[in-house]
Structure 1
Amino acid sequence: MIPTPDLSHLTTADYEHVYKPAEDTFILLDALEQDADELRETKPLVCLEIGSGSGCVSSFVGAILGHSCLYLSTDINPHAASCTLRTARQNKTAVDPIVASLAGPVRTRLHRSIDLLIFNPPYVPTFDEEAYGAQSTAGIAGAWAGGRDGMQVTDALLDDLDNLLSPTGLFYLVAVKQNDVPGIRSRMEQESGFRSEVVLQRRAGREHLFVVRFTR
């Protein structure tokens, strides 16, 4: 069993600005651990986590893959980038955090070169205006306010997936039932030819969480 990354360096003050790992984080960790052997066999060279928050997930991936991979992360929240860097150091993983939206600054340079892409998006259905406001202020609400159907930010990344994922790349996406997981999978296959599989799902309170893995 791969231990959950050490987050003891993060404080209550940090969690006022950065999303604290919760059930959606832990189902993602469990899905990645479940696929650990496959991840190692694919020998990824570039890993990118979108919306890294506390840095828990990127550090966990570092524990799976070791030092043979370049670990990058993005987050619109500067506090999240700082926490990601500190968490990586605390767990002896080298992650390079970037303050940016989605794949922003690396999109061109890493065209179809990302071997492992991970996104636990803001998936909670809200008014579109709330989601726009959360993204523009780059605060903690940007970690959960997802707009209509909770898909505003996720759709933006899905539209760009073909430009990002390498030929053998894997993409892990966290979603909830309200996001219409079958619809996401069908659309990505019909429009871009991406195959997908629900690798893990569970109920957490009122949420029905899914982790979907996409491949070319």
Structure 2
Amino acid sequence: MLPTPDLSHLSKEDLMNVYEPAEDTFILLDALENDASSLQDMKPLICLEIGSGSGCVSAFLSSILGPRSALYLCTDINQHAAACTVRTGAQNNVDLSSVVADLGTPFIDRLRSSVDILLFNPPYVPTDMGEAEFAQSSRNIQSSWAGGTDGMSVTNNLLFSVPTLLSKTGRFYLVAVEPNNVQRILHWMLEQYQLVGQVALKRRAGRELLYVLRFERQCL
């Protein structure tokens, strides 16, 4: 079992502004570790995490693939999170390049069909749309969990760009919860973009039923 990345450098003040790794983070780490062998076989060159928060997930991915075997890119709408991601990379001996940005916007054109591993643990908690819109505009820790109607307002915005970013053999990992309607997500990605999805891991954490969905391009 691979260790969780070292986050001892994060202060109490950091964790007041940046989402602290929790069960949704750990299920994504476990899904990646379960797929470690096949991920290594892919020999990915470009990895992109959307909403990197503390940087824990990308640092963990680097422990699977090797810190110098791929380019590790991260985005977060929260400038505190972007800074913490860089520091987490340094703490764990990997260069995590972090950009303050809304989803994958800066990379849509320059990384078209180039991202081999795409990761997103979105703000998935169902809230009213006003709360979700305020959270995104505030660009603070609230933006890491307020998900709007069905918890899907931010996720839906990213799903449109996944087919553009993903390489021919790329994989997309998405964290979701039961109210997000997992089967609808799987069906929509297949129907609209010929991306085949499956439940890579499912786990109950308190009142939440957490999922990690894994998507790949349909083989023709």
Smaller-chain TM-score bracket:
over 0.9
Deviations 1:133-191 (A, max 9, x none): 10011000000000000000000111111111000000000000000000000011111
- Give the letter for the 1:134 counterpart: A
Cα distance in 1 for residues equivalent to 2:215 and 2:140: 29
In the other structure, the counterpart of 1:115 is 116
Give the TM-score of the pair, scaled to structure 2.
0.97
Percent identity reads: 58
Tell me, yes or no, if structure 1 residue 18 matches structure 2 residue 18.
yes
Which amino acid in structure 1 is aligned with residue 18 of structure 2? Answer: V
Structure 1 gap ranges (5+): none
1-structure distance, mates of 2:202, 2:10: 28
Match of 1:45 in 2: 45
Deviation at residue 124 of structure 1 after TM alignment: 0.2
1:28 equivalent in structure 2: 28
- Aligned partner of 1:83 in structure 2 is 84
| Structure 1 residue matching 2:21: 3-state secondary structure | coil
How many residues are treated as equivalent by the alignment?
A: 216
Q: How big is each residue's C-alpha offset from its partner over 1:180-211, in whole Å with a ceiling of 9 and x where there is no partner?
A: 00000001111111101101000000000000
TM-score by length of 1: 0.99
- Equivalence for 1:125: 126
Q: Which runs of 5+ in 2 are unaligned?
A: none
- 1:170 counterpart letter in structure 2: R
| Equivalent residue letter for 2:17 | H
Distance 1:188 1:68 in 2: 29
RMSD between aligned residues: 0.5
| TM-fit CA distance, 1:131 | 0.5
- Structure 1 residue 5 and structure 2 residue 5: aligned? yes
Distance 2:7 2:96 in 1: 15
Q: What residue identity is the alignment partner of 2:29?
A: L
The code of the aligned residue for 1:18 comes to V
SS at match of 1:187: helix
Q: Report Cα offsets for 1:94-113 as digits up to 9, x if no partner.
A: 11000001111111000010
User: In 2, Cα distance between the equivalents of 1:123 and 1:182?
Assistant: 15
Secondary structure class of the residue paired with 2:6: coil
